[in-house]
Chains A and B, each alone.
Chain A
C-alpha cells in the first residue's frame, strides 16, 4: 500500500466551480500536510501548509485535515482558468525531518 494516495484525475470543471481535491494516507507519523501547485514545466509551488486537524483558509483556498480518518482535502472556490495546474499533496513527519512524501498529483483544468 502506498503511503499517500491521490486520484490523478484529470479533473475538468467550468469557471466559477468549487473544486475538491483529496488525498488519503496510511502513515500515522505524518504530522504536517501541504498542498503544492505545479504549472507545466515549472517546479511545485507551496499553496497551503497545515499541522492540526481542522480547516485553514487562504483566500479562495481551504485546506482541511482529518487525522482520525487520515484524509486531507483542498477546496478551491470560484475557480479560475489560471488555477489550471497539477495539484500535489505532500506530507511529512514531525521534528526536524523535512522529508516530504508526495501524492501523484491531480491535473485540474478550469474551462472559461
Chain B
C-alpha cells in the first residue's frame, strides 16, 4: 500500500512568489493534516481536514496560506505571496484512526 506522498520534494522560490504544495494521503484516510517545521523549531500543526471539510485550522499562520482538499482526496497548500519566514519543511499526514502517517515533506526555501 502506498504511503502519504507529497510533491514537490523541494521548492526554491523568491519572496513574493506563489507556491502550491500537494499531498496525496493514504487511500481511504478521511483525516488529512498539514504540519510545518521551521529550522530550529518544533514541528507545528497547521490544519486538519476531515474529508473535504476543515476541522481545525487554528495553526495557519496568516491569510497568505490557503489549504484545500478537493473531493476529500488530495490536498493543496498554497502560499501567496511567500515571505522569507515561510521557509521550512511542510509535512502532510493522514489517518483513519488515531495513528498519523506522515509523508516525506516538501522543503520550501524562500529567497
Chain A: residues with CB nearer than 8 A to chain B? Answer: 2, 4, 32, 36, 41-46, 49, 88, 90, 97-105
Contacts A43-B104, A44-B102, A46-B99 hold; do A99 and B43 have CB atoms under 8 A apart? no
Q: Do A98 and B95 touch across chains, with their CB atoms under 8 A apart? A: yes
Q: Is B104 in contact with A41, judged by CB distance below 8 angstroms?
A: yes
Q: Could you tell me the distance in whole angstroms from the C-beta of B46 to the nearest C-beta in chain A?
A: 10
Extra contacts, 14 of them, besides A42-B104, A98-B98, A104-B41 (Cβ < 8 A), are A41-B104, A42-B105, A43-B105, A44-B43, A45-B102, A46-B101, A49-B98, A98-B31, A98-B48, A99-B48, A100-B100, A101-B45, A103-B42, A105-B42
Interface secondary structure of B, over-half rule: strand
Name the contact of B102 in the complex, choosing from A41, A43, A97, A98 (C-beta under 8 A): A43
Q: How far is the CA of A46 from the CA of B31 in the complex (A)?
A: 16
What's the dominant secondary structure at chain A's contact region?
loop
Tally of contact residues, B, Cβ under 8 A: 24
Please give the residue numbers on chain B whose beta carbons come within 8 Å of chain A beta carbons, in ascending order. 4, 31, 33, 35, 41-45, 48, 56, 58-59, 91, 93, 95, 98-105
